[in-house]
C-alpha cells in the first residue's frame, strides 16, 4: 500500500525539522521525503496543504475501563476515540476491575488492543503501584514491566503512605520507570466535590482545597530528591502545584507533570450550572490557576498535555451533582482545545504543542522517540490548526459522551493519524 | 409584574422587586390567616407534590398548610435518601410522579443543586425547600418578612447570622436576600464554621459573639448540627455554648434592643438560652406563622404566573 501526502508541513521538534514537503509511505515505511514527488497511480494521494504533520501523539492518561467497566468504554471504543482524536498511542490507567496489578492483565489488554482497527493505536499499560491499588504492598513491578507496563500509578487514588511511596520510587527508579502520582491528600479532600473558593462558597458546596493537591506534590518532591527517583505528577491543576514542580526542576530533580485540557480551558464558574460534566477530580479551579497553568505550559514546567479521559455512562451522570461520578471524556477534544486555548491565544507554539503531545510524554515513559525520517515506520498525527468546528458529542467514537464541551466552537482539527501501516483518515 | 423566574430555586440573583412582591403578597395572606375561615380558592385544581428526601416535619407541614389554604390538591412523598439512592434515581422518581399530571413540586433534598437538576428533567414548577447546604429560599423570605414586620424595614439594618455558616442553607439564602434588600450582613461563629471566602459575598465577619452583638440590630441564630461533631469543627458543645451561645447576659451588655430569629428547631441552651428564646425580642413563633403566609405567597405567585404573562 502506497500513500502520498502532498504539501505536508512537517514539524518535528526532535530533529528541528520544519519544512513543507511531500511524503511517500510504502507499506508503513516512510520511503521518501522530498519536493514534487511524482504521483503514482498506485498510491493514495492526499493534498495536505495547511496541515501539520507531526510525530504521532500519545495520551499518557486514559481510562479505558476494560476489564470491568465495559458499559462505560471498551478497549475498542477507547482506541477508536483515540484515533479520532489524533492519538496513535494511549497509556491506560490501572483502575480497572480487576486492576492492572498482575502481568496477565497487562498481556490481556495488549492482546485485545492488537485486534482493534488492526492494531492502529498502540496501547501502553500503566500498572498499579500497589496490589489492588490499596496503597499497602508493592505490585510485582518487574513482572509487570516484562509484560509491557511502561509506568506505575494507583491513579484514582494517591499513594498516601510515605513509606510505601518511598519504596515505590526506589524500586521503580531501578527499572527506569516513572511513578505517576495522583496527587491528593485524602483527608483534606474528604467529601469535597468542587474547588474550595468563591464558587464553592456561593453554592454552599463541600469543597477540595488546592492545598490537598499541593501538599502531596510537596511531599513527593522531597522523597524524589532524597531517593534520586523519577516522579511524574498526574493532572496538576493549581498555581501552587506549578510552582512546586518549577522549583523541583530548578533543583534538577527527575520530575515532570501533566495538565488536562479541561483544567486550562474551564474555571470553576462552570460548576454553577450544576452540570455533572463539570465534576471532575481534581476539580476545575480558578481563573488565577488557569493563568498559572498556562505560564507553566509556556515556560516548560508542564511537560505534557494528557486528557484523564474518564468515560461514564449517560445514566451515571444524570443524577444529582453530589452522586455523579468524577470525570469527563477527553480524547476527542484534547488537540482542538490545546490548539484553541493555547496556540491561538499565543501561549505556546505549534512546535511546543507537539512536544507536549508527543515528544515529552515519550521521554518521560522512556519510549523511543518518533522521527519523521526516510526509512522509519510512519507514526504520524496530522492536524489542521486553522479549521473551525463545533463539538458534537453524538459524533464521538467513545462509548460515553460525558463532555462539558458539547457545542463549543474550536479552532484546530485533527485530520488523521498514520500508524502501524494504517492511515486513519477523517470520515 | 410576574416573578422573573418560573421556579424558586434560591435567592441568589432574585431581583429586589420580586422579593418585595413576595413579601407584600405575604402580608395579604397573613391577614387571611387571622380570619376565622383561612382558605382561599386561588390554586383550586392545581396539584402540588411535596417531595421530601430528608425528614423535615416543620418545613413540610408549613408548605402543606400553605398549599391547602390555597385549595390546591396536595400529595406528600417522603423517602429516606439512603433507600432512594439504592433504588430509583431522582430522575425516575420525579418523572413517575410527573406522569400523574402534577403542576408543582416542592422539594427538600440533601444534595446541593438537586432542585436545579429537577428543573432539567421534569416540566413542573419547582420550589426548593432546601438543597443540602446550598439554599432554603422560603426560610430566608420568612426571616425577612418577620424582620420587616417587627422593625418596619430591612434596608440599613445590621443583621448578623450566628453559628455554622459553612453548612447552612439558611445562612446562604439569608445573605443573598438580605444583601439584595439593602441590609448590612455579618456572620459570626468559630472560624472553622465560616467559609474562607465568605467575605467576597459582601458580608462582615465576627469571630466573637460580643463583637457581633455590639454591631447588630438583629441576630439570626442557626441551629448547631450535633452530628457535625465527628469532623472536629469545634472542640465540644460545652465550649461552643460558653463562647457562642446567645444568652441574656450577653445581650444585656448591649444598649440597643436586639431582635432574635432562629429557623428552628432550637437546641435550647446550646446555641440559644431558653430565656432569650422565650423573650419578647424573639420572633421565633412569629417566624412559624409567617412561614405559612410567605409560602402561600410564593405558591400563589408561581402558580398563577403563567396566566399573568
Ligand atoms: Zn487521577
Determine the topology of domain B16-135+288-308 in CATH. Answer: Rossmann fold (3.40.50)
What per-residue confidence (pLDDT) applies to B1? 76
Mutate to test the interface with B, among A192, A198, A202, A204 (most CBs of B within 10 A): A204
Pairing of strands B218-221, B158-162: parallel
Q: Is A194:A279 a contact under the CB 8 Å cutoff? A: yes
What per-residue confidence (pLDDT) applies to A19? 96
**Residue B308 pLDDT > 60:** no
Domain A2-52+375-424: state its class.
Answer: mainly beta
pLDDT digits (tens, 9 = 90+) for A207-227: 999 999 999 999 999 999 999
Whether residue B89 and residue A318 make contact (CB cut-off 8 A), yes or no, is yes
A187 touches chain B (CB under 8 A): no
B93: region left, alpha or beta (phi > 0 left; psi from -120 to 50 alpha): alpha
The reply to whether B137-283 shares the fold of B16-135+288-308 is yes
Which of chain B's residues have a Cβ under 8 Å away from the Cβ of A187?
A: none
What per-residue confidence (pLDDT) applies to A427? 62
Across B37-45, average pLDDT: 92
Cα–Cα distance, A184 to A237 (Å, whole number): 11
Among A308, A315, A384, A392, which one carries the catalytic annotation? A308
Ligand 1 centroid–CA A257 distance in Å is 12
Q: Is A239:A247 a contact under the CB 8 Å cutoff? A: no
Across A159-166, average pLDDT: 98
- Helix ranges restricted to H, chain B: 16-33, 57-69, 81-86, 90-98, 114-121, 137-151, 169-180, 209-215, 237-244, 248-252, 274-277, 284-303, 305-308
pLDDT digits (tens, 9 = 90+) for B127-177: 999 999 999 999 999 999 999 999 999 999 999 999 999 999 999 999 999
Cα–Cα distance, B55 to B110 (Å, whole number): 10
What per-residue confidence (pLDDT) applies to A76? 96
What per-residue confidence (pLDDT) applies to B242? 93
Element spanning A297, H or E: helix A287-299
Cα–Cα distance, B205 to B210 (Å, whole number): 13
Cβ neighbours for A210, distance < 8 A, ≥ 6 positions apart: A195, A196, A237, A238, A239, A240, A241, A285, A289
Reported confidence tier of residue B88, pLDDT bands at 50, 70, 90: confident
Which region among A97-106, A126-135, B30-39 has the lowest average model confidence (pLDDT)?
Answer: B30-39
What per-residue confidence (pLDDT) applies to B82? 59
A201 touches chain B (CB under 8 A): yes
Residue B278 grid cell: 422565650
Whether residue B111 and residue A206 make contact (CB cut-off 8 A), yes or no, is no
Q: What are residue B76's phi and psi, to 5 degrees?
A: -105, 130
B307 touches chain A (CB under 8 A): no
pLDDT digits (tens, 9 = 90+) for B211-264: 999 999 999 999 987 766 667 788 888 899 999 999 999 999 998 999 999 998
Reported confidence tier of residue B309, pLDDT bands at 50, 70, 90: very low
Determine the topology of domain A56-364 in CATH. Answer: TIM Barrel (3.20.20)
Q: Sketch the domain layout of chain B as residue ranges.
A: 16-135+288-308, 137-283
Q: Could you tell me what percentage of chain B is helix, strand and coil, using 3-state DSSP and rounding each to the nearest 5?
A: 45, 15, 40
Cα–Cα distance, A336 to A341 (Å, whole number): 8
Cα–Cα distance, B127 to A423 (Å, whole number): 55
Pairing of strands A29-34, A52-55: unpaired
- Percentage of the residues of chain A whose pLDDT score is greater than 90: 96
Q: List, in sequence order, every residue forming a beta bridge with A127; answer none if it has no partner.
A: A152
Per residue in A380-413, is it b (16+ CB within 10 Å) or e — as a string? bbbbbbebeeebebeebbbbbbbbbbbebebbbb
Which of chain B's residues have a Cβ under 8 Å away from the Cβ of A274?
A: 112-113, 116-117
**DSSP annotation of A377:** B
The boundaries of every CATH 2.30.40.10 domain in chain A are 2-52+375-424
Determine the topology of domain B137-283 in CATH. Answer: Rossmann fold (3.40.50)
Which residue from A190, A187, A295 is spatially nearest to A241, judged by alpha carbons? A295
**Residue A346 pLDDT > 80:** yes
B84 touches chain A (CB under 8 A): no
What per-residue confidence (pLDDT) applies to A204? 96
Cα–Cα distance, A128 to A133 (Å, whole number): 6
Instruction: Work out the mean pLDDT of chain A and round it to a whole number.
Output: 96
Counting Cα atoms < 13 Å in the Cβ hemisphere of A184 gives 21
Which region among A106-120, A298-312, B13-27 has the lowest average model confidence (pLDDT)?
Answer: A106-120
Catalytic site residue A308?
A: yes
Amino acid at each position: 500500500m502506497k500513500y502520498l501526502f502532498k504539501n505536508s508541513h512537517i514539524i518535528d521538534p526532535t530533529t528541528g525539522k520544519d519544512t513543507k514537503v511531500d511524503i511517500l509511505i510504502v507499506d508503513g515505511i516512510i520511503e521518501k521525503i522530498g519536493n514534487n514527488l511524482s504521483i503514482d497511480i498506485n498510491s493514495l494521494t492526499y493534498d495536505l496543504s495547511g496541515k501539520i504533520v507531526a510525530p504521532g501523539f500519545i495520551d499518557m492518561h486514559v481510562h479505558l475501563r476494560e476489564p470491568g467497566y465495559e458499559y462505560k468504554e471498551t478497549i475498542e471504543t477507547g482506541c477508536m476515540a483515540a484515533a479520532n482524536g489524533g492519538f496513535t498511542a494511549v497509556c491506560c490507567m490501572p483502575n480497572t476491575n480487576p486492576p492492572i496489578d498482575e502481568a496477565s492483565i497487562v498481556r490481556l489488554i495488549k492482546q485485545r488492543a492488537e485486534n482493534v482497527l488492526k492494531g492502529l493505536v498502540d496501547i501502553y499499560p500503566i500498572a498499579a503501584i500497589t496490589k489492588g491499588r490499596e496503597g499497602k504492598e508493592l505490585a510485582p513491578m518487574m513482572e509487570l514491566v516484562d509484560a509491557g507496563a511502561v509506568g506505575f500509578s494507583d491513579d484514582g487514588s494517591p499513594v498516601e503512605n510515605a513509606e510505601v511511596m518511598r519504596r515505590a520510587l526506589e524500586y521503580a527508579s531501578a527499572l527506569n520507570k516513572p511513578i505517576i502520582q495522583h496527587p491528593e491528600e485524602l483527608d483534606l479532600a474528604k467529601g469535597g466535590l468542587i474547588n474550595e473558593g468563591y464558587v464553592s462558597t456561593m453554592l454552599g458546596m463541600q469543597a477540595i482545597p488546592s492545598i490537598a493537591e499541593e501538599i502531596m506534590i510537596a511531599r513527593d518532591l522531597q522523597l524524589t530528591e532524597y531517593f534520586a527517583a523519577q516522579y511524574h505528577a498526574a493532572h496538576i491543576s493549581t498555581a501552587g502545584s506549578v510552582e512546586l514542580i518549577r522549583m523541583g526542576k530548578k533543583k534538577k530533580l527527575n520530575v515532570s507533570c501533566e495538565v488536562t485540557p479541561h483544567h486550562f480551558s474551564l474555571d470553576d464558574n462552570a460548576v454553577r450550572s450544576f452540570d455533572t460534566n463539570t465534576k471532575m477530580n481534581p476539580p476545575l479551579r480558578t481563573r488565577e490557576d488557569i493563568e498559572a497553568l498556562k505560564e507553566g505550559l509556556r515556560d516548560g514546567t508542564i511537560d505534557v498535555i494528557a486528557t484523564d479521559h474518564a468515560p461514564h455512562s449517560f445514566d451515571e451522570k444524570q443524577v444529582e451533582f453530589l452522586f455523579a461520578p468524577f470525570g469527563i471524556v477527553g480524547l476527542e477534544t484534547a488537540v482542538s482545545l490545546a490548539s484553541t486555548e493555547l496556540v491561538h491565544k499565543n501561549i505556546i507554539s505549534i512546535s511546543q504543542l507537539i512536544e507536549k503531545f508527543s515528544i515529552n510524554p515519550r521521554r518521560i515513559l522512556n519510549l523511543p522517540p518518533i522521527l519523521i525520517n526516510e526509512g522509519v515506520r510512519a507514526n504520524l498525527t496530522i492536524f489542521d490548526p486553522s479549521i473551525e468546528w463545533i463539538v458534537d458529542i453524538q459524533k464521538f467514537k467513545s462509548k460515553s459522551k460525558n463532555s462539558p464541551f458539547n457545542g463549543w466552537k474550536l479552532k484546530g482539527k485533527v485530520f488523521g493519524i498514520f500508524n502501524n501501516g494504517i492511515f486513519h483518515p477523517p470520515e | 409584574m410576574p416573578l422573573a423566574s418560573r421556579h424558586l430555586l434560591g435567592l441568589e440573583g432574585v431581583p429586589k422587586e420580586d422579593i418585595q412582591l413576595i413579601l407584600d403578597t405575604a402580608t395579604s395572606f397573613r391577614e387571611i390567616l387571622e380570619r376565622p375561615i383561612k382558605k382561599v380558592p386561588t390554586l383550586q385544581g392545581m396539584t402540588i407534590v411535596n417531595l421530601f428526601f430528608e425528614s423535615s416535619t416543620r418545613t413540610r407541614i408549613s408548605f402543606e398548610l400553605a398549599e391547602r389554604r390555597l385549595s390546591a390538591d396536595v400529595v406528600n412523598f417522603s423517602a429516606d435518601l439512603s433507600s432512594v439512592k439504592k433504588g430509583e434515581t431522582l430522575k425516575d422518581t420525579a418523572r413517575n410522579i410527573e406522569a400523574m399530571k402534577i403542576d408543582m413540586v416542592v422539594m427538600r433534598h440533601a444534595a446541593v443543586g438537586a432542585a436545579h437538576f429537577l428543573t432539567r428533567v421534569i416540566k413542573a414548577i419547582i420550589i426548593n425547600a432546601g438543597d443540602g447546604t446550598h439554599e432554603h429560599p422560603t426560610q430566608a423570605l420568612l426571616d425577612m418578612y418577620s424582620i420587616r414586620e417587627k422593625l418596619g424595614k430591612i434596608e440599613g439594618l445590621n443583621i448578623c447570622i450566628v453559628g455554622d455558616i459553612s453548612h447552612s442553607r439558611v445562612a446562604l439564602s439569608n445573605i443573598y436576600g438580605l444583601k439584595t434588600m439593602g441590609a448590612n450582613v455579618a456572620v459570626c461563629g468559630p472560624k472553622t464554621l465560616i467559609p474562607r471566602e465568605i467575605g467576597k459575598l459582601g458580608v462582615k465577619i465576627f469571630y466573637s459573639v460580643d463583637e457581633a452583638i455590639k454591631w447588630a440590630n438583629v441576630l439570626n441564630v442557626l441551629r448547631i448540627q450535633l452530628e457535625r461533631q465527628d469532623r472536629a469543627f469545634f472542640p465540644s458543645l460545652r465550649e461552643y455554648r460558653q463562647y457562642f451561645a446567645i444568652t441574656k447576659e450577653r445581650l444585656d451588655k448591649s444598649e440597643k434592643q436586639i431582635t432574635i430569629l432562629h429557623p428552628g428547631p432550637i437546641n435550647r441552651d446550646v446555641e440559644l438560652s431558653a430565656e432569650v428564646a422565650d423573650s419578647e425580642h424573639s420572633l421565633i413563633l412569629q417566624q412559624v406563622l409567617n412561614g405559612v403566609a410567605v409560602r402561600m405567597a410564593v405558591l400563589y405567585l408561581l402558580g398563577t404566573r403563567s396566566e399573568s404573562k
